[in-house]
Amino acid sequence: MENWGLFPIIIIGVIALTALVLAANLAVKKLIGIAAYFNLSSTFMGMTVVSLATSIPEITAHVTGSINILRGTLDFQIGSAIVLGSNIGSDVVQQTFILGLVVLVAGELYFRRYFLWKSMIPMIASTILCIILGLDGLYSRLDGFILFGSFIAYSYYLYIDERKHYQKEDNIPEDEEVESNIPTNGKEVLIDAGISIVMLAITVLAASLVLSITEIIVNRTGVSGSLIGVLTLGLASALPELTTALAGVHHKEHGISLGTLIGSNITNPLVGIGSGALISTYAVPRPLILWDLPWETLTGVILWVILWFNKGRLGKKESIYLMGMYFVFIILRALLFKSDF
């Protein structure tokens, strides 16, 4: 592939990226169905199971990239820039453009006050933690342990809170489309789990191919790896969150929509970066610390303030602001940062 022309390489990359997204989407549907089988509330599911499932592309990219870095088949700096750029790029697009689009489709969304404290504050804290740990230019294995351990602790807190405040009527409504993905017995649970494992294997293979192709494009064009990660993998890997959030709006399950988008912004940095750093460590690109993570933190704070003073309400006016913030992020990112290191 090294001797191929750039155009056929890009075509193969698009096909691999499509396979990654489609396989991840099917795995997400099956995992959501399995979670619903155990009668978990919609908000808890959105914050944990669904956000973890929809983060499959980001997590897969990190694990695959880290393994390839260890094997020497992926350059340490380029590989680090690509996977970190795609992770934070996915977070920013979810927090701005996708959330804005979901609100635009729904007309308006409401966040409960306890949701702002229980979910959005940890989301902002996770990005600040990533900034602090990356200031030395490296995500070490200790940093990975801190990030991944923080996710485990937070998930345990949510589980305890779920058991304390669980209400039967808060679980997923069983309309025809949703019910069709929910197993009815233990055998179907095992079958769906098997399908999920196969789809996850496909995402791993597709992610490995996408990373290799992206490295070739970076070497040939000189475009920064983190910028390509933000614009391609970051955008594509956010599609499972988009489809799941829109499905939640369609079924009037705003807990799933909000929980998925906010929960994924906690899962991506803590589990994605955490697991990858545990495997290989990462070189931290300069734009990540100076722009990407600060922008994600800033948008999170602005969103929290808007919701607090609007009593938890997001309307169409706010949705336009959110989508506009994404394009400002991308344009300034491309203009201000030409290289990663």
How do the domains of the chain map onto residue ranges?
6-336
The pLDDT value given to residue 25: 74
Dig out the tokens for 54 from the structure: 């929809």
* Mean residue pLDDT across the chain: 83
Average pLDDT over residues 11-20: 85
Task: Check residues 35 and 141 and name the one with the higher pLDDT.
Answer: 141
Each residue's pLDDT tens digit, 97-139: 988 998 888 888 877 777 777 888 999 999 999 999 999 999 9
Average pLDDT over residues 302-311: 87
171 strand-pairing partners: 41
- The model's confidence at residue 166, banded by pLDDT at 50, 70 and 90, is low
Neighbours of 42 (CB within 10 A): 23
DSSP H helices in 135-223: 141-165, 176-179, 186-221
Residue 170 has pLDDT above 80, yes or no: no
DSSP annotation string for 295-311: HHHHHHHHHHHHHHHTT
Q: Are the CB atoms for 275 and 63 separated by under 8 Å?
A: yes
Cα 58 to Cα 271: distance, rounded to the nearest angstrom: 9
What DSSP state is assigned to residue 229? Answer: I
> Can you read off the two tokens belonging to residue 247?
């499905």
In CATH, the number for domain 6-336 is 1.20.1420.30
pLDDT over threshold 80, residue 197: yes
